[in-house]
C-alpha cells in the first residue's frame, strides 16, 4: 500500500486530502492502554483489555474516539472497540467462521454465497476493529494484495456470465489507495456481464476524509452502476463531517445504503435505532439492513435476543416512515439469501 506522509501548504488539495485519511489511519490507537487512558476509564479495564486484544488487536481512529464521552465505559461507540473480559469466555454457539465462509471461497479473495453476485476480499485491513465483527478471525493473509494477485479471481468473474454484480468487501476496500482501487474497478468494469459494483465500507463513517475527489472520480469514472454500503450502528457515529462526506457521495448520484448490527449495549434501544434512521434519512442514506449478530467467537456478549430485536423493529415502524425502517435480517451458513426476520 502506498503511504503518503506529511502535508505542506504547497500540495494540491486533493493530495492533502489523501494525506489526511492516510495520516488518520497511521495515528489510530492500537494499544488498549492508550484507548483506556484517552477515555479516562478505570484501571480495572486494563488487564482484560490487554488479554482480549491479543486475539483481536485494538484499532480505533482518533476521529472516532473524539465522538465518545470520556469517563463513560458504556459509551456506545467505545463499546464497539474496547476489548472486554466478556470476549474471553466464548458462548457455546460461537465459531471462528460463523457463516462458514471458508466453503464459499472459489479462489483466494473471491467468495460466492448467493446467485448472481460474487464478493472480492479487496483488502485485508480495516479502518477500525469492531469487536463484534463476523470476520474477526478471517484468514486475510491468504487474500490477494495486488492487481496481479487478483487476476485469478477476476478471471473467474469473467468466466461466469451468471454474475452481474460484484461486491468489494474485506477488510475495508477503501483502505486501498485510490490509484489501486481505480485500477481494480476498471478491471471489473471491463467484464461485460458485470453491471453493478457494490462497495462495503466503514471508512466514510470512521474517517470521513476518505471521501476524496479521487475516490469520487473513481466511483463515477466507469460504466458500472455504483452502490456504497456504509456501516454505522449508532446516531453518535454520524457527526457533521461524516454528513458532509456522505452527501458528497450522494451528490455524485451514487446510491448510499447503511447496514447496522443490532448490538447489546450499543443500539438495543428505540432511541438509538430511531435516532440512527433519522440521521441517515435526513442525509438521504437508506437504512438498509439491521443484522442479527453472527455467532462469532468473542462477541456473544453483544447478542440481543431475536424476540427483543423483532419488538424493537415493530416499534420503530410506529415512529418512522416505512422507508426508514431497515430490514431486520439474519444470515445462516449455506443459505441462498439472508433471512428476513422482520
Ligand atoms: S469495519 Fe467491517 S470488516 Fe472491519 S472490523 Fe468492522 S465490521 Fe469488520
Instruction: Give the three-class secondary structure for 66.
Output: helix
pLDDT of residue 137: 86
pLDDT of residue 6: 32
pLDDT of residue 145: 87
295 CB under 6 A from ligand 1?
Answer: no
Distance between CA atoms of 235 and 249, rounded to whole angstroms? Answer: 19
- Sequence spans of domains, the chain: 13-88, 101-340
Strand order, beta sheet including 286-291: 105-107, 110-111, 117-123, 165-170, 196-200, 225-230, 255-261, 286-291, 327-330, 339-340
202 CB under 6 A from ligand 1?
Answer: yes
pLDDT of residue 282: 98
pLDDT of residue 17: 62
pLDDT of residue 172: 97
The residue whose CA is least distant from atom 7 of ligand 1 is: 133
276 CB under 6 A from ligand 1?
Answer: no
Q: What does the pLDDT look like over 152-192, one tens digit per residue? A: 999 999 999 999 999 999 899 999 999 999 999 999 999 99
Q: What does the pLDDT look like over 99-150, one tens digit per residue? A: 988 888 899 999 999 999 999 999 999 999 999 999 988 888 888 888 899 9
pLDDT of residue 4: 30
* CATH class label, 101-340: alpha beta
List the chain residues with pLDDT less than 70: 1-18
63 CB under 6 A from ligand 1?
Answer: no
For ligand 1, the distance from its centroid to the CA atom of residue 250, given in whole angstroms, is: 22
The residue whose CA is least distant from atom 8 of ligand 1 is: 133
126 CB under 6 A from ligand 1?
Answer: yes
pLDDT of residue 2: 30
Q: In this structure, what DSSP letter does residue 196 have?
A: E
131 CB under 6 A from ligand 1?
Answer: no
Amino acid at each position: 500500500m502506498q503511504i503518503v506522509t506529511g502535508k505542506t501548504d504547497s500540495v494540491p488539495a486533493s493530495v492533502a486530502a489523501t494525506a489526511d485519511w492516510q495520516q488518520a489511519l497511521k495515528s489510530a490507537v492500537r494499544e488498549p492502554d492508550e484507548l483506556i487512558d484517552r477515555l479516562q476509564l478505570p484501571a480495572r479495564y486494563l488487564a482484560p483489555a490487554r488479554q482480549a486484544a491479543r486475539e483481536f488487536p485494538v484499532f480505533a481512529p482518533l476521529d472516532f474516539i473524539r465522538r465518545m464521552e470520556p469517563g463513560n465505559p458504556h459509551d456506545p461507540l467505545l463499546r464497539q472497540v474496547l476489548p472486554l473480559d466478556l470476549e474471553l469466555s466464548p458462548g457455546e454457539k460461537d465459531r471462528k467462521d460463523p457463516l462458514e465462509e471458508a466453503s464459499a471461497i472459489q479462489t483466494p479473495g473471491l467468495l460466492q454465497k448467493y446467485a448472481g453476485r460474487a464478493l472480492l476480499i479487496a483488502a485485508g485491513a480495516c479502518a477500525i476493529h469492531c469487536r463484534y465483527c463476523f470476520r474477526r478471525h478471517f484468514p486475510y493473509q491468504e487474500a490477494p494484495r495486488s492487481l496481479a494477485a487478483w487476476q485469478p479471481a477476476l478471471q473467474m468473474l469473467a468466466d461466469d456470465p451468471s454474475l452481474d454484480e460484484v461486491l468489494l468487501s474485506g477488510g475495508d476496500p477503501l483502505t486501498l489507495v485510490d490509484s489501486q482501487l481505480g485500477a481494480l474497478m476498471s478491471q471489473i468494469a471491463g467484464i461485460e456481464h458485470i453491471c453493478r459494483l457494490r462497495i462495503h465500507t466503514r471508512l466514510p463513517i470512521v474517517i470521513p476524509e476518505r471521501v476524496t475527489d479521487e475516490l469520487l472520480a473513481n466511483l463515477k469514472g466507469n460504466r458500472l452502476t455504483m452502490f456504497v454500503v456504509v456501516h454505522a450502528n449508532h446516531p453518535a457515529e454520524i457527526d457533521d463531517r461524516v454528513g458532509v462526506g456522505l452527501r458528497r457521495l450522494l451528490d455524485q448520484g451514487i446510491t448510499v445504503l447503511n447496514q447496522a448490527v443490532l448490538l447489546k449495549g450499543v443500539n438495543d434501544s428505540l432511541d438509538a435505532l430511531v435516532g440512527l434512521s433519522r440521521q441517515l434519512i435526513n442525509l438521504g442514506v437508506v437504512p438498509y439492513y439491521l443484522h442479527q449478530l453472527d455467532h462469532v467467537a468473542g462477541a456473544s456478549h453483544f447478542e440481543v435476543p431475536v424476540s427483543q430485536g423483532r419488538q424493537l423493529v415493530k416499534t420503530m415502524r410506529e415512529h418512522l416512515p416505512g422507508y426508514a425502517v431497515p430490514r431486520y435480517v439474519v444470515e445462516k451458513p449455506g443459505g441462498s439469501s439472508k433471512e428476513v426476520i422482520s
